[in-house]
Structure 1
Amino acid sequence: MKYISIASLLVLATSASAFIPSVVPLRTSVSLDAKHANDKAAKKANANRPRKSRPSDINRKPTNYPTFVKPPEYTISDN
C-alpha cells in the first residue's frame, strides 16, 4: 500500500511539472506585446461612419421642432 501511494505521488509530481514553464520569461507585462493599440467602440464607430459627400447633406440644417408646453400635473380646486 505504501508503494502504491509513493508511486501515485511520483506520477502526480511528474505530470504537474509539465505545466510549469521551464524558461523564465524576461518580461512579465503582457501589455508590451501589442504593436498597435486598438480603437475602442466609439472611436471606431466615428472612424467608420459614412461621410457626407452631397452638398444637400453637408449644408443641411437641424430640424426645427415646435416647442411643447407641458400641461400641469395637478390642478388646485377650491372646494
Structure 2
Amino acid sequence: MDLSSRAVCGAELLQESGKLVKTTFILRYLQSQPLRRRIHAQLNKGEQLHALRAWLWFEAMALSVENKKMPSKILSDV
C-alpha cells in the first residue's frame, strides 16, 4: 500500500467517523426532550441577538441619514 492510498483510506475513515458522530447526535436529539429544549432555547437566543443587531444597524443608518440632511435644513432656515 503506497502513501497516497493510505491517505485516501485515512480520509474515508474520517468521513465515516463523522457520519457516525452525526447519526449518534441525531438519535440523542430525537430521544431527549431536555436536549431539544436546550437547543431550541439557544437557537432563540441567537435569533433574538440577530434581530437586535439588525434593528441597531437600521437605527444607526437612519441617524446617519438624518445627520447628513440636518446641515442643509439649517442653512435653508437662515
TM-score by length of 2: 0.32
TM-score by length of 1: 0.32
Larger Rg: 1
